Amino acid sequence: MSMKKRVLTGIQPSGKLHIGNYFGAIKRMVEYQASSDLFLFVANLHSLTTLQDGERLKKMTLDAAIDILALGIDPEQCHFWIQSDVPEVAELTWILSCLTPMGMMERATTYKDKIAKGISPNLGLFSYPSLMNADILINQADRVPVGKDQKQHLEMARDIATKFNHQYGKVFVIPEPDIMEEIAIVPGTDGQKMSKSYGNTIPIFGTEKEIKKAVMGIVTDSKGVEEPKDPKTCNVFALYKLFASQSDVKVMSERYQKGGMGYGDAKKALLEVIQNHFEPFQAKRVELEANPKKVEEILQMGAEKVRKVSLETLEKVREATGLHY
């Protein structure tokens, strides 16, 4: 039995991955995979709250799985599955929702945020944290990586687990938050935080032409070639720092401050480090996409592994709640 801490996280399928997604989530998951007992799933049941187009959800779910595998998640080293392939989570969601106070759901900030963005309210969106609680608790997660903005979700899972254990006897591990300190915000091509909603992303798996167009379109100030430039305020340099070695960053910083280098040259240097970094991942993605049967096998194997854990937890829950008779 592994003594590593069990870390659980889910990624919603949401279209083309960009550099911000990589540094904000995927790269960290690859690190957790090496140091922890990682449980990582594609959260397609969560996506149903806002996406009701069957063909699109199906495609986005498979694309997300292929992206994650291509970027270094190894199904031999972790538990990796599609959320809907483990139906036990839906049963636990119902059981937990019967213990969840309405007031707790009403205080959920994510629901309010989504309604404020104009998303049409539905019961699934409202009770979204109940499904999240079930994801965490059914897998007996020790730690859940969350940003500061999502800490409330984990507090709900802790409260419900504590309430259940008090009412029925200890069944659930009480999960701890693994607060992810914000890495330097990855700037988009316009200088704001890189985000699909701002349309300012640099895609990881775009064509060479798409990636080049995005990089060459990064907003800079209007200083001429000969003028010294400030690396600290430049979006191109901020992105370059994420990829280049310390010695290369130092050289680039000196070239900025000395003058004689235009932003066009800086963008070409950035494009080169991006291409070098993602080239092996892009090749792996092409290989996986050409072999959908292999991807299906990986996902089935992952679901089978996870269902052993889920069923064991659910059996205890059924027993404790009187659903076994």
- Strand 176-179, strand 6-11: pairing: unpaired
pTM confidence score: 0.91
Are the beta carbons of 236 and 186 closer than 8 angstroms?
no
Per-residue pLDDT at 180: 72
Top-tier CATH class for 196-286 = mainly alpha
Per-residue pLDDT at 1: 46
Alpha helices in 201-245 (DSSP H): 208-216, 235-243
Residues with catalytic roles: 114, 193, 196
Both tokens of 22, joined, read 């990589």
Per-domain boundaries in the chain: 6-174+292-321, 196-286
Both tokens of 212, joined, read 């080049």
Sheet with 143-146, edge to edge strand ranges: 79-82, 37-42, 6-11, 143-146, 176-179
Per-residue pLDDT at 181: 66
Q: Tell me how far apart the alpha carbons of residues 303 and 310 are, in angstroms, rounded to a whole number.
A: 10
Per-residue pLDDT at 147: 75
Candidate CATH numbers 3.30.2320.50, 3.40.50.620, 3.40.50.300, 3.90.1200.10; the one for domain 6-174+292-321: 3.40.50.620
Are the beta carbons of 20 and 201 closer than 8 angstroms?
yes
As a whole number of Å, the CA-based R_g of the chain is 22
C-alpha to C-alpha distances, 221 to 64, 141, 255, 314, nearest whole angstrom: 36, 47, 16, 58
Average pLDDT, 10 consecutive residues per value, the chain (325 residues):
84 89 91 96 94 95 96 97 98 97 89 84 91 97 86 93 98 91 78 90 95 97 95 96 96 96 96 97 97 97 98 98 93
The contacts of residue 193 (CB under 8 Å, 6+ apart) are: 20, 185, 186, 187
